[in-house]
């Protein structure tokens, strides 16, 4: 059945929307006298009550509705991804994390369900994402202050709106803010199959920057290489293919990269370093293998390599963070124009455990899991 909407209002009123599950309730306009009695719908949420392995400590909990305050926006969630950092938050190893009990998830997209009387920039039916991203997106309804929502264009699939902040924004920022890159330059990266990696390939390509990509050895490697090349990758190598090789001989006509991105660590990070030109920089932004980055003394002394890190959270704490909203709109524009895509799998919320198992790597390499509520 179609959703029923009651759209009203002047500031002294509250917007309410009821879906078909609540049609026994009449569509009402509540005035300020009854304002304090309005609550959000109860929310089904993935909650972890203690830090630990996500598949052991997470459970589905029904959270009662909360009173809608003047500046609150209640959002019915549509989709939210399971990112590696979400897993690390539940494990208790991520530096920024809520104290348990907490609802999982950090980004996502939802539809405005109702707004408080002081809210003028959002209306029921708008699509919004939390910006800056914030905890608690793995639930059916979320209520947060209007300041932390960003309205997004409905012209993109929900899975893209749900995932646009954490990974694509990171890729864009790393390409734009680490060193100055010009058309014809090259970058090298490992973890190229990750969502960040796929975005790096495409965002680099739009600027005429070549990408050399390193992936894990895995079944179906040819198909993976083909897929990354379709996105715009110039070269794709598995770690084994690079073992013991003079990597410079594999560059073909591509210039030696001045910038490298590492989200894996261990031997894979050493491969990135090998590709870098004299004075190049490797930016570490993830540690998927959980192995440390090891650098030879000669890399520092003779090759004058620089190592640095990037963390989106730090950038979000700068005075440039508002710019992030424009960058997100820009990224969603690229999605809409078919210039930015990445592999995802939408999984229904009631199959959350399967999605979690896939995100935990229990079923081998899997596309990014996005929960559809």
Ligand X SMILES: NC(=O)c1ccc[n+]([C@@H]2O[C@H](COP(=O)([O-])OP(=O)(O)OC[C@H]3O[C@@H](n4cnc5c(N)ncnc54)[C@H](OP(=O)(O)O)[C@@H]3O)[C@@H](O)[C@H]2O)c1
Residue 274: CB minimum distance to ligand X, A: 17
Binding mask 40-79 for ligand X (x = CB under 6 A): ----------------------------------------
- What gap in Å lies between CA 204 and CA 183, rounded to an integer? 9
Q: Contact with ligand X (CB under 6 A): which of 170, 189, 211, 262?
A: 170
User: Which of 27, 221, 241, 310 lies at the binding interface for ligand X (CB under 6 A)?
Assistant: 310
Closest CA to 128 of 109, 141, 154, 145: 109
d(CA 128, CA 169): 16
- Residue 85 engages ligand X in binding (rule: CB under 6 A): yes
- Map residues 195-214 to x or -, x wherever contact with ligand X holds by CB under 6 A: xx------------------
- Candidates 167, 189, 211, 262; binder of ligand X (CB under 6 A) is 167
Contacts of 338 (CB under 8 A, 6+ apart): none
Task: Check if 94 is active-site.
Answer: yes
For ligand X, the binding residues in 242-271 under the rule CB under 6 A are 263-264
Tokens 């996005």 -> residue: 370
Q: Per CB under 6 A, does 312 bind ligand X?
A: yes
Task: Give residue for tokens 């198909």.
Answer: 223
From the CB of 196, what's the least distance to ligand X, in Å?
4
Choose the binding region for ligand X from 102-110, 133-141, 151-159, 165-173 (rule: CB under 6 A): 165-173
> CA dist 24 to 4, 18, 19, 21, 27, Å?
12, 10, 10, 8, 9
Q: Is 346 helix (H, G, I), strand (E, B) or coil?
A: strand
By rule CB under 6 A, what count of residues binds ligand X? Answer: 26
Cα separation, 78 vs 370, in Å, equals 10
**Quick one: which of 54, 104, 191, 232 contacts ligand X (CB under 6 A)?**
191
Q: Does residue number 117 form part of the binding site for ligand X (CB under 6 A)?
A: no
Is 98 within 8 Å of 52 (Cβ atoms)? Answer: no
Considering the rule CB under 6 A, would residue 354 count as an interface residue with ligand X?
A: no
């Amino acid at each position: 059945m179609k959703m029923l909407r009651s759209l009203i209002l002047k500031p002294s009123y509250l917007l309410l929307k009821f879906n078909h599950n609540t049609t026994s309730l009449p569509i009402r306009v509540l005035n300020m006298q009854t304002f304090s009695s309005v609550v959000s719908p109860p929310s089904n949420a993935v909650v972890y009550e203690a830090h630990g392995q996500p598949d052991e400590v997470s459970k589905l909990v029904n959270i009662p509705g909360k009173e809608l305050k003047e500046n609150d926006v209640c959002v019915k969630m549509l989709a939210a991804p399971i990112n590696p950092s979400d897993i690390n938050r539940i494990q208790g190893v991520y530096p920024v994390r809520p104290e348990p009990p907490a609802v999982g998830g950090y980004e996502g997209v939802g539809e405005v369900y109702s707004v408080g009387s002081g809210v003028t920039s959002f209306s029921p039916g708008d699509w919004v994402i939390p910006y800056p991203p914030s905890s608690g997106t793995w639930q059916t309804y979320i209520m947060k202050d209007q300041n932390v929502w960003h309205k997004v264009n409905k012209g993109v699939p929900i899975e893209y709106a749900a995932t646009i902040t954490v990974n694509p924004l990171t890729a864009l920022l790393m390409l734009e803010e680490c060193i100055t890159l010009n058309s014809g330059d090259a970058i090298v990266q490992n973890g190229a199959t990750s969502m960040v990696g796929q975005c790096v390939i495409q965002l680099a390509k739009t600027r005429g920057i070549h990408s050399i990509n390193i992936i894990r050895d895995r079944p179906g490697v040819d198909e993976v290489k083909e897929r990354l090349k379709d996105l715009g990758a110039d070269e794709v190598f598995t770690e084994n293919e690079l073992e013991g090789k003079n990597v410079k001989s594999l560059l073909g006509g591509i210039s030696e990269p001045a910038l490298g991105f590492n989200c894996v660590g261990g031997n894979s990070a050493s491969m990135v370093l090998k590709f870098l030109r004299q004075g190049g920089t490797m930016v570490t932004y993830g540690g998927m293998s959980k192995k440390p980055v090891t650098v030879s003394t000669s890399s520092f002394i003779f090759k004058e390599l620089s190592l640095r890190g990037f963390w989106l959270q730090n950038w979000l704490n700068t005075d440039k963070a508002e710019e992030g909203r424009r960058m997100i709109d820009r990224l969603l524009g690229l999605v809409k124009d078919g210039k930015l895509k990445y592999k995802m799998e939408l999984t229904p919320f009631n199959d959350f455990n399967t999605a979690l198992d896939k995100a935990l790597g229990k079923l081998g390499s899997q596309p990014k899991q996005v929960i559809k509520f």
